[in-house]
Copies of this chain bind each other. A is one copy, B any other.
Amino acid sequence: MKLLEDRILKDGKIGAGNVLKVDSFVNHQIDVAFMCELGKEFKRLFADTEVTKILTIEASGIGIACLTAQYFDVPVVFAKKTKTNNIYADVYTSKVESYTHGTTYDIVVSKQFLTPGDKVLIIDDFLAKGSALKGLISLIEDAGASVVGAGIVIEKAYQPGGELIRSMGIRVESLARIASMTVEDGVKFVED
């Protein structure tokens, strides 16, 4: 999606360890009008599917998931990263590895919010190694619901997550696919 690629080139910053920082418009400050355009694009891409629910993971997936859900007219459920007093004991659980933080954590969704009839579109901001996405897919399968696909804002196509998830037969639509990224040469996108 050219709108997004242009914005990444303009406002994305490559930090230490080749981390792409898009926190001025995606995941710390959120450019809401811009994210609505991405939401409309997800709707266009998945227009041929039936979606009853959008699933994401806290925290930075929530904004884009909610703004996207408006165009599908469905609710959002977000998986929580730890089990708190505020969630019913009756949850689906999955493990996710965080490579950024070097830790493993549990994600949970209350069983009442994912049911066998649900057709679930996953929306998230990043796809790299695919651990969070695999965890979300596992929650959906545990619920007996079906996975419509995954809509990703930025895929690091040089990392194995996209290939891994697509090889599971899951449709993945990424609005920007980064082919390579270095401080010297900047960000290069996968050509269509």
Q: Is A19 a contact of B86 with CB atoms below 8 Å?
A: yes
Q: Is A113 an interface residue (CB 8 A)?
A: yes
Q: Given A27-B86, A76-B63, check contact A33 B100 (CB 8 Å).
A: no
Contact mask for chain A residues 65-90; partner B; CB cutoff 8 A; 1 contact, 0 none? 11101100111111010001111100
Q: Is B24 a contact of A112 with CB atoms below 8 Å?
A: yes
Q: How many copies does the complex hold?
A: 2
Q: Given A85-B19, A87-B23, check contact A28 B67 (CB 8 Å).
A: no
Q: Give bound CA distance, A85 to B65, whole Å.
A: 23
Q: Is A120 an interface residue (CB 8 A)?
A: no
Q: Is A2 an interface residue (CB 8 A)?
A: no
- Please, which residue of chain B has its CB at the minimum distance from the CB of A98? B84
Chain B residues with CB below 8 A from A65, complex form:
63
Q: Is A75 a contact of B31 with CB atoms below 8 Å?
A: yes
Q: Decide if the interface of chain A is mainly helix, strand, loop or mixed.
A: mixed
Per the CB 8 Å criterion, the residue count for chain A at the interface is: 42
Q: Is A62 an interface residue (CB 8 A)?
A: yes
**Smallest CB–CB gap between A63 and chain B, Å?**
4
Contact mask for chain A residues 167-188; partner B; CB cutoff 8 A; 1 contact, 0 none? 0000000000000000000000
- Please, which residue of chain B has its CB at the minimum distance from the CB of A30? B76
Q: Give bound CA distance, A84 to B110, whole Å.
A: 27
Q: Is B19 a contact of A77 with CB atoms below 8 Å?
A: no
Q: Is A21 a contact of B86 with CB atoms below 8 Å?
A: yes
Spell out A's residues near B (CB within 8 Å). Answer: 17, 19, 21, 23-25, 27-33, 35-36, 58-59, 62-63, 65-67, 69-70, 73-78, 80, 84-88, 100-101, 109-110, 112-113
